[in-house]
């Protein structure tokens, strides 16, 4: 799971067409996306993948699935995206706790 989180740093610059140093800046970058927008888009994409996974399970249960392999792939994508979101959430919570513990 930690490997998935480490790959986020490699994936985001490719998706945005920027170098990693430009992503960490304050405010909006060249693409017009700030951190909140990136996070929101990631949540929406994870939700879509979860819905597709649920549909695949329903199709398998009802016998409506035409290609079992594609249904298995949809389930795998949904699981991977959820694990990644959980790791991101855990990292954010840990960072918040660390900031709260910092004495001024």
Based on its alpha-carbon atoms, the radius of gyration of the chain, rounded to whole angstroms, reads 17
Q: Is the dihedral of CA 38, 42, 48, 49 positive or negative?
A: positive
pLDDT tens profile 34-47: 888 888 999 999 99
Nearest CA to 47 out of 15, 89, 73, 81 is that of 81
Greatest Cα pair distance in the chain: 61
User: Residue 20's pLDDT is what?
Assistant: 45
Whether 15 shows a pLDDT value over 90: the answer reads no
pLDDT at 97 over 90: yes
Per-residue pLDDT at 35: 83
Answer yes or no: pTM beyond 0.75: no
Q: What is the pLDDT of residue 19?
A: 45
Task: Output the pLDDT for position 104.
Answer: 75
The pLDDT tens digits for 22-81 are 444 445 555 667 888 888 999 999 999 999 999 999 999 998 888 899 999 999 999 999
């Amino acid at each position: 799971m930690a490997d998935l989180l480490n790959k986020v740093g490699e994936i985001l610059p490719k998706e945005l067409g920027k170098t990693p140093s430009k992503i960490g800046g304050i405010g909006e970058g060249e693409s017009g996306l700030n951190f909140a927008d990136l996070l929101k888009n990631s949540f929406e994409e994870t939700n879509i993948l979860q819905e597709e996974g649920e549909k695949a399970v329903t199709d398998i249960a009802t016998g409506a699935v035409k290609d079992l392999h594609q249904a298995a792939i949809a389930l795998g994508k949904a699981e991977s995206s959820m694990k990644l979101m959980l790791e991101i959430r855990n990292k954010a919570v840990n960072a918040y706790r660390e900031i709260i513990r910092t004495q001024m």
